Structure 1
Amino acid sequence: MPKEDEVLIKVEYVGICGSDVHGFESGPFIPPKDPNQEIGLGHECAGTVVAVGSRVRKFKPGDRVNIEPGVPCGHCRYCLEGKYNICPDVDFMATQPNYRGALTHYLCHPESFTYKLPDNMDTMEGALVEPAAVGMHAAMLADVKPGKKIIILGAGCIGLMTLQACKCLGATEIAVVDVLEKRLIMAEQLGATVVINGTKEDTIARCQQFTEDMGADIVFETAGSAVTVKQAPYLVMRGGKIMIVGTVPGDSAINFLKINREVTIQTVFRYANRYPVTIEAISSGRFDVKSMVTHIYDYRDVQQAFEESVNNKRDIIKGVIKISD
């Protein structure tokens, strides 16, 4: 049963994140100290409230909700400044300290990090608010505005979420680069101005053409690749911004001679205070998360879901697991 400040949620949908796939293949990014520690998977989830703690006031049984999967300490400097996403003691699902995952029929979660879904949003969309909030956080941190030229490196889930977030903030000139045709088709359907297949075109030359040799105001690296990190400085304008959204290898190289003209490099870590604006964008129809779902699995087929996510990256843009109705 839930604690006094928690809600008990019957989980209905869980999105499959790249970090879950990594955990399935190789274990979590931060391995537990105890080698016998059980490790759960899943953190993108939504469902229906079935019970509430004695001090809960915002929710009642029957409410459809989603959650922020990271619960910070609430009292460190970062939390007090509103930057709770970088709290050093955050308890994030499927990772340290307890490695509890969302792939379960029921879970308890604090009221303060639970959100009620609008009537016109279903719980599949609710589960996908989490990756959408990553894209929204990246776009808002970058100060995307109308008139800005944008280049997005990577058209996986986070790249496509970032594309849609940029459009929500008024950007109309957006180039998306990837090496998989299915992802680029999706990017075009979601509103990319230009799509570039890095296996068929010279990415740098094509992006220079897109920006009329000026470079982009903002370059988003969402692929988590050493190759795209290396490309980014050649694509950004003087005084522009490079936003590192993907989980990039630690030894990736950047040519600092290409960014010494007051280019800003900023990393993006999850999100903070972005769920409300992201939920509103999805509810209003300006942010289409459901069309990105290419594969839906029953919870009984969870092994298959992860094996296909590992072996079929070419076809799977976003997979979700249906836990219950």
Structure 2
Amino acid sequence: MPSKPNQAFVLRAPNQAKLEPYEMPGDPGPDEVLCRTLAVGICGSDIHYWRDGKVGTFILGNEPFVLGHETAAEIVRCGKNVLHLKPGDRVAVEPTVSCGDCDYCLNDQYNLCPQITCHATPPIDGTLQHYFIHTAKYCFKVPEKLTNDECAMMEPLAVAVHACQRVNITKKSNILITGAGPIGLLILQVAKAYGANRVVITDINEERLNFAKELGADETILIQRENSEEKNVQIIRDRFNQIGSDIAFECSGVGVNFRLIIFASKPGGTCMFVGMGPSELQLPVAAAAFREIKIYGSLRYKGCFPIAIDLVNLQKMATHHFDFAETLKAFETAKSGQGIKVIINVDRQ
């Protein structure tokens, strides 16, 4: 049974969010579970909703809206059909729920389901609250060795796993990553776990590049803001023997980098767009077509949480911690770009 009243970090308009009492979820349905939130990581999308009131085409409505979707939780109550979980189990929460009946769902592409819903995507509330209800099959029990921090980071790690599974990483793969933020650093670790020969990562932040070296980057490139596109392409190609990368992941969301990885890829190479960039962008289509560059996109994940749970150690990634009462301060810290991953301990006031 819930041991305390519900409370949530509620966004009512851009830059207007605070902790306040919130309606307690009801009983879970037959295939659902009632969860108690333990920890939540702050994602870039949370920052955009808080600051701008929108992420891409998803726009904050007029109703109160709870942020947060990178979640570690404890099961409080199970619906009558739920057999794989029990009260007290600690779970990583895949925040999406698909319809299960459309062609995409029936063909193992449920992440493309047109009816899919996701925590902290309007109008669906997120998990920065003490209690929430979720579909049980998207809750994954985690081993005791995983900390709550790591459990909360299974969601962005699943993003990295899905992106890496979309391309063919082998022991011969020489990989470029643009952006040493959380997703770029996670893709670095997943690519290494999948046996990549060499991983080079770029950023404008030297501190993040130093951290990338600690996580296994073979080489880092500090990009200067004043550099021309031609100069950056040359700098990168110099690190790949003038041939170019086999696989390039764009993880920064910075518009110029979507162009950059096309020019920096070898003929026949692969570009994976992971970062959430501008809605419209001028890309060098002829340069990609004439060199048979393969361009892929990546949306969330499908079936990646069990793999993520067994894959890598993420303890170093959580650089800042805040109690639930300090949630606004946590968002301000994340917005400033400090550290790598900001974690809110919801079970601590």
Listed as ranges, the matches of 1:184-223 within 5 Å are 184-199=209-224, 202-223=231-252
Q: Tell me, which stretches of 5 or more residues in structure 2 are unaligned?
A: 1-26
Count matched residues: 316
1:309 Cα deviation after fit? 1.8
1:120 deviates by 1.3
Residues of 1 paired with 2:168 and 2:131: CA distance?
A: 38
1:152-301 map, 5 Å:
152-199=177-224, 202-260=231-289, 261-281=291-311, 287-301=312-326
Partner of 1:40: 66
Q: Answer yes or no: is the 8 Å Cα contact 1:242–1:265 preserved in 2.
A: yes
* 1:23 aligned residue (36, 44, 49): 49
- 1:7-64 per-residue CA deviation (whole Å, 9 max, x = no partner) reads 111111000000000011011324458x422221100001211111111100111111
Let me know the Cα RMSD of the aligned residues: 1.4
SS in 2 for 1:101: coil
Amino acid across the alignment from 2:140:
Y
Hey, what does 2:12 align to over in structure 1?
none
Deviation at 1:257, TM superposition (A): 2.4
1:119 Cα deviation from its structure 2 partner: 2.2
Aligned residue in 1 for 2:134: 109
How many angstroms apart in 1 are the aligned matches of 2:240 and 2:143?
39
The letter for the 1-side match of 2:174 is: K
Give the secondary structure class of the aligned counterpart of 2:271: strand
Alpha-carbon distance in 2 for matches of 1:38, 1:143: 43
Preserved CA contact (<8 Å) 2:119 2:126: yes
The residue type paired with residue 72 of structure 1 is S
Contact 1:220–1:243 (CA under 8 A) maintained in structure 2:
yes
Q: Which amino acid aligns with 1:62?
A: G
Is contact 1:20-1:42 (8 Å) kept?
Answer: yes
Residue pairs, 1:65-144, within 5 angstroms: 65-96=91-122, 98-144=123-169
Aligned residue identity for 1:3: G
With structure 1 as the length reference, what TM-score do the two structures score?
A: 0.94
Give, in whole Å, the separation in 2 of the partners of 1:303 and 1:139: 33
Q: CA–CA distance in 2 between the matches of 1:289 and 1:18?
A: 18
> What TM-score, normalized by structure 2, do the two folds share?
0.88
Q: Percent identity?
A: 35
Alignment partner, residue 306 of structure 1: 331
